Structure 1
């Protein structure tokens, strides 16, 4: 009887274990299903969105033009250089940071190999701690083999037989003493915000010419915004709203730098060409990189100096545990992809990216190449580059906000939205967001859901810069083309020749009493080409029949008629 009882107890234990396993399995399935359901519910794709379009919402349709068109590749990709800069001059002096000590040193082996009489070779260095060049680099010191540098900037020149053969300058941001943290209520976690700008790079041009960087951004799971659209012709009209939230520079009284500074962030500003610094005379940056130092180097690739400076700055502030906001604006040059991808890799390997929000942005597409005269080039100019990278832990901490951001990647976005997002990021551990689909404000944080009903008109994008809803080619010999050109000749006082004419298609379900045409035309007085958007108002007399929308865009690409015929 006892054996039967033991067998019965074991049988009950087995039944209980099987029951427990079954119940645990069901619970796990339900839990995973709930997680998947939550993700799908949070990051669901709008029913209108689908293949064949970059943006497909109720208010905006942007066709997906091929980035790697065969004819475009043959003419613009294969001839684009890539690789490491090879200086025309030999680099006799180098700089490095060794155990938190900044030094410059002479390449003694190179000197021995090149010069028999080494006594006739000499190098001098001049330090400077000022952000401007006035009364700077006045003192000179002989560089014997190496020297410890305690200044922010150093100018070096080397000569042989009393003839200068080498000029260069070096920057050491870690030699600047940091002010104490202002905001004592900051979170213990460090989170920097970096905006890196590329001058004149469209989203599609980025994928052609920046393939190294594009692969890294994809591997980092950065979000690419397909509907990011410019709102003005030149860099100023697109970057001013990003930094200030206003469109007119005359209305500027503060900037995003002040917003971050008031929250205890250190601020940094650097640009390779003096474009934006004069817009902020009221700002006092903690770190400012003077563009005029580029003229002090005879290196054939001086642009790498910006990357050298920014890398040292990032490392220094990371080691000190200080969070910062910085804008770094680089010009386009052949080896930019190499230096940008190399910088991102170093920031990733040193764990800086784990505490950094990295925004890669452009002002507009390339306006000075042959492609710009084609329909594809015209669209690319209107759709610049925007990538946003967040550390994984921040995505996990604010899942719904990041789901909104990911969905907004397929919505119409402008620099006003970037500015609103940056304002939100002044307190990155307290993200406020909205999930309704009715927000038609001009400026919406990318953490809040942008309405599918958003149109170019609701965000104050001129029809001249709007890429929504596609275009329809209109023959240059048709009556409407001739009427438009008569109007253009009247307002421009120029005898012009029309090259292309495209009709803007209206949004789905929208009734308009006008039609917009974008015309490309040449001038008889110069080799320049121009682009203008003309609105034809229906049902009016000829006097008020046409209206210029925005300004007439000047395209500085001479002798391009054969390219237009090839690629249009």
Structure 2
């Protein structure tokens, strides 16, 4: 049995899939595309906890966010998830976290690179041949990859993505696992065949949530850095994100009960509050637009190594 083989309850060996995305077509039956985390032997061989620098805390990093969700909107529209996150998982929710720029790239680029867009090479599309690809950015996932981590970047809106709508995008795959090929195919050939926000019988936000779970199954014993960002369900209407509450709550529970949070720091967040809804015309809306939801759920090992370092910051950041 190979290191990545799992065993079913009946005792049979379960092998991870050898392909990432596939579609099945039968004119009289079922026609759709499916996302799955493909096991890659080269990635498996390159990664491992033993490759981390000496003295490093052995933790996975899992970041997931919904677009345009303020801290208060998260608690209003995702109450089950918020309760589970704060009461069951003991998450630290930043009460005064402010955006550092207007829009998704300006909010997320500093998080992922440590620099503002103006401090980085010019990647704006309108600059034509003078613009460089965003691969030139010093993304944090590159550092994790160098340290022996499996890396992943998932985003659901390829035509209006963080790095592709206004910026030039990537000229090479940025992480080990990358969902853009899946969403390009799905957006071009499948989304219009089904009800909006669904891919067949599966809500589209759940496709990404399940993909992240699969990554943790396939690379169970390997260090992982994953960043997923879902925009479709919340960008244009902040009320719609409420339909994801049960799925997000169940997703959080799975990570806890499966033991994955024992060595994973979970960062659940957003880029900014809503920018276009009617509430934006009110004073409350103007305030919330600047105060996105941002939370940390460190594993127990983190509290043992740096006791008291996190809790005191929730009311200051």
TM-score (norm 1): 0.43
1:123-522 alignment, distance < 5 Å: 150-160=18-28, 166-177=30-41, 178-181=43-46, 184-186=50-52, 190-218=58-86, 219-248=88-117, 251-252=120-121, 253-274=137-158, 275-278=161-164, 279-281=169-171, 284-290=174-180, 291-295=183-187, 296-297=190-191, 298-300=193-195, 301-302=198-199, 303=204, 304-318=206-220, 321-331=221-231, 332=234, 333-334=240-241, 335-399=243-307, 403-411=308-316, 413=317
SS at match of 1:231: coil
Conserved 8 A contact 1:315-1:352: no
CA distance in 2, matches of 1:101, 1:180: 17
Higher strand share: 1
Conserved 8 A contact 1:257-1:283: no
CA distance in 2, matches of 1:224, 1:156: 42
CA distance in 2, matches of 1:378, 1:193: 32
Query: Measured at CA, do residues 327 and 215 of structure 1 come closer, stay the same or move farther in structure 2, by a change above 3 Å?
Result: same
Conserved 8 A contact 1:244-1:254: yes
Query: Measured at CA, do residues 156 and 282 of structure 1 come closer, stay the same or move farther in structure 2, by a change above 3 Å?
Result: closer
- After superposition, give the CA deviation of every residue in 1:84-117 in whole Å (9 maximum; x if it has no partner): xxxxxxxxxxxxx964246xxxxxxxxxxxxxxx
CA distance in 1, matches of 2:32, 2:228: 21
Conserved 8 A contact 2:19-2:38: no
CA distance in 2, matches of 1:166, 1:222: 41
Conserved 8 A contact 1:227-1:383: yes
Query: Measured at CA, do residues 393 and 312 of structure 1 come closer, stay the same or move farther in structure 2, by a change above 3 Å?
Result: same
User: How far apart are residue 158 of structure 1 and its match?
Assistant: 3.3
1:74-113 alignment, distance < 5 Å: 99-101=13-15
CA distance in 1, matches of 2:57, 2:285: 44
CA distance in 2, matches of 1:261, 1:378: 39
CA distance in 2, matches of 1:271, 1:288: 8
Q: Which has the higher contact order (CA 8 A, sep 6+)?
A: 2
Query: Measured at CA, do residues 342 and 249 of structure 1 come closer, stay the same or move farther in structure 2, by a change above 3 Å?
Result: farther
Gaps of 5+ in 2: 1-6, 122-136, 235-239
CA distance in 1, matches of 2:214, 2:286: 38
- After superposition, give the CA deviation of every residue in 1:438-474 in whole Å (9 maximum; x if it has no partner): xxxxxxxxxxxxxxxxxxxxxxxxxxxxxxxxxxxxx
Which stretch shifts more, 275-284 or 257-266?
A: 275-284
User: How far apart are residue 150 of structure 1 and its match?
Assistant: 3.3
TM-score (norm 2): 0.75
Higher helix share: 2
Query: Measured at CA, do residues 294 and 396 of structure 1 come closer, stay the same or move farther in structure 2, by a change above 3 Å?
Result: same
Gaps of 5+ in 1: 1-96, 103-148, 414-568
Which stretch shifts more, 382-391 or 267-276?
A: 267-276
Query: Measured at CA, do residues 195 and 151 of structure 1 come closer, stay the same or move farther in structure 2, by a change above 3 Å?
Result: same
